[in-house]
Amino acid sequence: MSKDLESLEESELKDSPFGRKISLSVRVKEKIIEYFFAVNGVVALVFVILIFIFLFKEGIQALNNIGLLDFIYFDQVQLDDSLKRLYEWYPTSSEERYSLLPLIVGTLMTAIPATIISTLFGVAAGVYLSEIANPKAREFLKPLIELFASVPTVVLGFLMLAVGASFFNDLLSPLNRLNAFIASLGLSFVIIPIIASMTEDALRSIPNDLRMASYGLGATKWQTISKVIIPAGFSGVSASVILGFGRAIGETMIVLMASGNAANITMDIFLSVRTMTATIAAEMGEVSQGSDHYYALFFIGIILFTITFFLNLLAEIIVNKMRKKNVF
Amino acid sequence: MKNKTKILTEDLSLYYGDKQALIDISMQIPEKQVTAFIGPSGCGKSTYLRVINRMNDLIGNVTISGKVLVDGIDIYAKDLDVVNLRKQIGMVFQKSNLFPKTIYENITYAPNINGIKDKKVLNEIVEKTLKQAAIWDEVKDRLHESALSLSGGQQQRLCIARALAVQPEIVLMDEPASALDPLSTAKIEELIHELKQNYTIVIVTHNMQQAARVSDKTAFFYLGELIEFDTTSKIFTNPSIKQTEDYITGRFG
Amino acid sequence: MEIGKKHKDIKGTFFIGLTKVLFVFLVFVLFMIFGKIFIEGMDIVSLEFIFDEPRNNMTEGGIWPAIFGTLSVTIIMVLLAVPVGVFAAIYLTEYAKDTFATRIIRTAVNNLAGVPSIVFGLFGLGFFILFIGRGIDDALGTGLIWGQPCLLWASATLGVLVLPIVIVSTLEALNSVPKSHRDASYGLGATKWQTIKKVIIPQARPGILTGTILAISRGVGETAPILFLGAAFFLPNLPVADICIGDYCIPMINPAEQFMYLAYHIFILATQSANPTLTLPIQYGSTLVLIGITFLLNITAIYMRYKYRKALGKI
C-alpha cells in the first residue's frame, strides 16, 4: 500500500486542482449578495411588526386620553341629575361618546350574514368545480371565479348603492334603504370566490385513490362526496370559511357605501349600521391629528388588526395540522 | 367436477379513445377458485380486471365491444345498476387506499351506505371481516384509531376486509402485494387461499411465482391479447403456446 | 348475485342537482350585474371619455386625471414592491433553510395578506407620512413637503399591501424550476448567485410577470388605503413637475403631489357628488373603465399562468 489517503500532506493538496480554495473576493461577493437577499426576505415580517408598532403607538394614546371604560359606555348626566348609560359612538358631539359597541355590532351584523351566505354558495361552487363539473368546464369556470374575485370592492359598493339598494327596497320595503343586509350581500360577492377557490383546491388535492375505493365499494357519487371527500377536505374548507370571515370583518368600501353608516345597536338586519372599518374610513379625513378622536380611530385599527391577525393565524394552524395528518 | 362459470367474456375489446387496449378477449372464469392474470406491464391485465366491475366507466373516453356476463347476466346492459353491481364485487387495489377514518369506520363505510345502521350488526360485520382478513387479533384493541396508523401490510389486509364487508361473491385484486415485504405478501397469499372457499377470486399479479403458488387457473396476457388460459399447473409446466413459455422462462419480461 | 336494473338515487340526485343550481345561480347573478355595468357604461365610455378632463362639477367630460393619477401611483408602487417581493421570494427558496425563522416569515407573508385595507391606510399615515415623511422634512429642513399626504406614500403603502401577492407568485414560479436544473448548474461549478441570475430567474420570469400583473390589478382597485393618503376628488393640475437641466425640461411624475385616483373617483361620485343623478352616467362609465382595466389585467395574468403551467406539463 503506497499511500494512505489520510496521510496526504497539506502541501500536496494545495497543488492538486481539486484542492483549490475559493478566492476571497468571490466569497465576499457571494456573502454580500446573500445578506442583500436576506434583508428583502425579512421585509414582510418587518412590515407586519411595523404595522403593529405604529398602530399601537398612536392607538394606545387613546387608552390614556379616553380610558378603556369609555370605549364601552358613557354615563350621561340627565336633567334630573340621574345618570343614563349610553352605548353610542358620537365623537363629534359636545359630550364626546366613544362606545365601540355599535361599531362592533355593525361589523358583526354585516360580516356574519355575509359569511353564512358565502359559505353556502362558496362551498357549493367549490364542490361543483372539484367533483361534478367535467374537466373542460372546470378549466373555463375556475378562472372565471378568479376573475370575479378580482373585482374592486369600490365597484361592488357602487353596485349595491346604484342597483341593489333600489331593487331590494322595492322588493322588501325595509326601514332603511341602505342597511346591513345590502352590505352583507355586497360582501358576499367578495367572499364567495375566496371560499369557492380554497374549497376547490382542498378537495382537488384529495388523491383519486380514495374516490376509487369508495366507488369500488359500490357508493354513489353523492355518497362519495358527502361521506369521503368533504370529510377528508374538511380542514381546508374550514380554513377558507375562517379566512372569508376575516375578510368580511376587514372589508371597508362595500360597507362604507352600502350599510347606511348609522351607528345603531340592532339585531334587525334591515336597519342601517356602521362598521369599525367604515368608521375609520369616514372619519379619519375629518379629525385633527393628536385629538382624542384621532387616537380613538387608531385604537379601532388596533382591534381590527388583532382580530384579523388571529383569524389568519387560526386558519394557518388548521391548514398546517391538515398537512401533518396527511399521509398523502 | 367442473366448477360453474362465474364470469364470462366473449370477444371483449376495449378502446381508450382510438387506442385499443384489449383485443377480442374470450375467457370463462370459474366460481370459487383463484384465477390469476400474468403478463408484462401494460398488457391489459388490470384493464380487463376493471371491466368486470365497470370501474373503467369512471375514466373518460372508454368504449367496449363484446359480451361480459356475470352469473349469466350482461353487466353492460343499458339500464344496469352499476352502483349495485359494485356492491356485489369487491376490489382491492395495488396501493392501500384506506379512508382517513378509523379502522372501524373504514369497514363500516360500505354497510353504512347500504342502510345498515344497527350498531350490533355493524360490530358483528367488523369482527367477521377482520377475522376473515386474518388481522382481527392485531387490531381488535384499536378499532377506533386511525386506519392510516397501520403498517403497509396491515393496511392492505384491512383493504381486503373492507372489500369483504358487503359480502361480495367476487373479489378482484389488482397486484395486492406488489408494494409489500415478503412476510406481508405471504400473509396475503395465505388469506387468498382461505377466501377461495367462499369467494371467486381474480388476481392480477406481476409475480409469476405468486401466481403459481396461489391460483388454480392462470391467464397470460400480452399486448392486450389473451395468449393462453389454462390450469396453473399446465401453464407453468407445459404451456401450449411458445410465447407463454418464453415469458415463463424469462426470455422476455 | 343480485344484478338488476338501475334504481333512482333520489337523495344523491337531489343534492348534486342542488349544487349545480346554486352554482348556476351564482354565475347568472354575476353576469347580470356586470351586464348592467357594461350596458350603462358603454353609453358614455369612449376615447374622449378616457382622455378628457372632467367638466361642470363632474357632470360632464372625462376622467383622464383620475386615470393618470392611477397610472402614476401604479408605476411607483411596482417599482417599490416588485423588486423587494421577488428578492424576498428568492431568499426564501434559494437561501433560507427550513427553520423556525423561515416559517415565521411565511406566516408573516400570509398575515400581511390578511390585513384589512383600511389598516394599511392607518399604517401609511402613521408610519410613512408622520414618521418617515416628517423625518425627511425635519432632516432636510424643507418645511412640510414629505410629511403630508402625497403620491409617494400612497404608492409605498399600496406597495406593502401587494407585497404578499408578488412574493407568493414568485415563490410559485421559483418552485416550478426543477431541482435538476439547479443541480446541473452547481454541478458545472457555478456559484449560487450565478445560478440564480442565469438559470433560475430567467425560468421564473413568466411567473414573476404574472405576479406583477396581479399586484397591479389589486393596487388599481384598492380605495380604502389611499382615502387619506393623498387622493383627491378634484385637482386643477396633474401631479407632474418639470425636471430642468438648464433650458431643457422633462416633465416627470411628482411624487410629492396629491393625485386623482380612478377608484377613489368612483367612490366620491357615488356617495358625495353634489348631484348624484347627473353624475350617474359618469359613475357607470368610470366603473366600466375600472373593471375593464382589472379584468384585462387579470385575464392576461390567468392566461399567462395557464400557458406557463401547460409548458411545464402541469396541465
Average the pLDDT over A89-104 and give the result. 82
- Residue in this structure with the C-alpha cell 380487463, named with its chain if needed: B48
Please state, in angstroms and rounded to a whole number, the distance separating the CA atoms of residues A185 and A141: 22
CATH number, domain containing residue A191: 1.10.3720.10
Q: Which residues of A touch B61 (CB under 8 A)?
A: none
CA distance A175 to chain C (A): 20
Average the pLDDT over A74-89 and give the result. 79
| Inside any domain, residue C208 | yes
Which residue range forms the structural domain that includes residue A284? Answer: 98-325
What is residue A279's predicted lDDT score, i.e. its pLDDT? 93
More confident residue, A213 or A176: A213
- Supply the mean pLDDT for chain B: 90
Are the C-beta atoms of residues A293 and A279 closer than 8 Å to each other? no
- How many structural domains comprise chain A? 2
Q: Is 80 exceeded by the pLDDT of residue C9?
A: no
Closest CA to B227 of B215, B237, B241: B241
What is residue A328's predicted lDDT score, i.e. its pLDDT? 35
**Per-residue pLDDT tens for A3-25?**
455 555 555 555 556 666 667 88
What is residue C82's predicted lDDT score, i.e. its pLDDT? 94
Contact C1 B70 (CB under 8 A): yes
| DSSP conformation letters of A118-186 | HHHHHHHHHHIIIIIS-HHHHHHHHHHHHHHHTS-HHHHHHHIIIIIHHHHHHHH--SSSS-HHHHHHH
Q: Are residues A173 and A311 in the same domain?
A: yes
Closest CA to A102 of A92, A110, A94: A110
Cell digits of residue C250: 422633462
- Supply the mean pLDDT for chain A: 85
Q: Which residues of A touch B84 (CB under 8 A)?
A: 218
Q: Are residues A21 and A141 in the same domain?
A: no
Helix (H) or strand (E) holding C237: none
For chain A, say whether B86 makes contact (Cβ under 8 Å): yes
Q: Are residues A103 and A26 in the same domain?
A: no
Of the candidates C3, C6, C9, the beta carbon closest to that of B75 is on C3
What is residue B119's predicted lDDT score, i.e. its pLDDT? 92
Please state, in angstroms and rounded to a whole number, the distance separating the CA atoms of residues C117 and C227: 10
What is residue C315's predicted lDDT score, i.e. its pLDDT? 43
Distances (CA, A) of A114 to A164, B90, C35, C86: 15, 45, 23, 35
Q: Are residues A110 and A256 in the same domain?
A: yes
| Inside any domain, residue A71 | no
| Strand B62-70, strand B5-16: pairing | antiparallel
Mean pLDDT by 10 residues, chain B (253 residues): 82 92 94 93 89 86 91 87 87 88 91 88 93 90 91 91 90 89 88 91 91 93 92 91 88 74
Q: What are the CB-based long-range contacts (under 8 Å, 24+) for A130-137?
A: A130/A199, A130/A200, A130/A203, A130/A204, A130/A229, A131/A203, A131/A221, A131/A225, A131/A229, A132/A221, A132/C16, A132/C19, A132/C20, A135/B60
| Inside any domain, residue A48 | no
C196 pLDDT band (50/70/90 cuts)?
A: confident
Please state, in angstroms and rounded to a whole number, the distance separating the CA atoms of residues A92 and A291: 11
| Inside any domain, residue C25 | no
Number of neighbours of residue C29 by Cβ within 10 angstroms: 14
What is residue C14's predicted lDDT score, i.e. its pLDDT? 87
Are the C-beta atoms of residues C300 and C213 closer than 8 Å to each other? yes
Which residue range forms the structural domain that includes residue C79? Answer: 60-311
What is residue A327's predicted lDDT score, i.e. its pLDDT? 39
Cβ neighbours of residue A124 closer than 8 Å, sequence gap 6 or more:
C18, C19, C22, C23
What is residue C162's predicted lDDT score, i.e. its pLDDT? 95
What is residue A12's predicted lDDT score, i.e. its pLDDT? 52
For residue A238, list its beta bridge partners: none
Number of neighbours of residue B207 by Cβ within 10 angstroms: 16
CATH number, domain containing residue C199: 1.10.3720.10
| Inside any domain, residue A50 | no
What is residue C192's predicted lDDT score, i.e. its pLDDT? 82
Of the candidates B86, B98, B148, the beta carbon closest to that of A216 is on B86
**Per-residue pLDDT tens for A22-76?**
678 888 888 888 889 988 888 888 998 999 899 988 888 888 887 777 787 777 7
Helix (H, G, I), strand (E, B) or coil at B202: strand
**Per-residue pLDDT tens for C120-178?**
999 999 899 888 988 888 888 877 888 888 899 999 999 999 999 999 999 988 988 88
Cβ neighbours of residue B245 closer than 8 Å, sequence gap 6 or more:
B239
DSSP category for residue C251: E
Number of neighbours of residue B82 by Cβ within 10 angstroms: 20
Contact B73 C3 (CB under 8 A): yes
| Inside any domain, residue C144 | yes
| Inside any domain, residue A162 | yes
Q: Are residues A34 and A139 in the same domain?
A: no
Cell digits of residue A328: 398523502
What is residue B125's predicted lDDT score, i.e. its pLDDT? 93
DSSP category for residue A99: -
Q: Are residues A159 and A304 in the same domain?
A: yes
| Inside any domain, residue A59 | no
Q: Are residues A15 and A115 in the same domain?
A: no
Cell digits of residue A128: 361543483
| Inside any domain, residue C304 | yes
Q: How far is CA A20 from the centre of its chain?
A: 54
For chain B, say whether C2 makes contact (Cβ under 8 Å): yes
Are the C-beta atoms of residues B109 and B162 closer than 8 Å to each other? yes
DSSP category for residue C259: B
Contact B80 C6 (CB under 8 A): yes
Cell digits of residue A321: 395540522
Please state, in angstroms and rounded to a whole number, the distance separating the CA atoms of residues A44 and A50: 10
Mutation target for B interface from A134, A138, A206, A217: give the one with most B CBs within 10 A. Answer: A217
Subunits next to C (3 or more Cβ pairs <8 Å) are A, B
Are the C-beta atoms of residues B113 and C36 closer than 8 Å to each other? no
User: What's the one-letter identity of residue A230?
Assistant: I
**Per-residue pLDDT tens for A219-234?**
998 999 999 999 999 9
Describe the crossing of helices C262-272 and C276-311 by its angle, rounded to 10 degrees.
Answer: 150
Helix (H, G, I), strand (E, B) or coil at C178: coil
| Inside any domain, residue A248 | yes
Helix (H, G, I), strand (E, B) or coil at B39: coil
Q: Are residues A35 and A177 in the same domain?
A: no
| Inside any domain, residue C220 | yes
ipTM summary value: 0.86
Helix (H, G, I), strand (E, B) or coil at B13: strand
Cβ neighbours of residue A151 closer than 8 Å, sequence gap 6 or more:
A189, A190, C221, C291, C294
CA distance C9 to chain B (A): 10
Please state, in angstroms and rounded to a whole number, the distance separating the CA atoms of residues B252 and B197: 35
Closest alpha carbon within chain A to B94 = A209
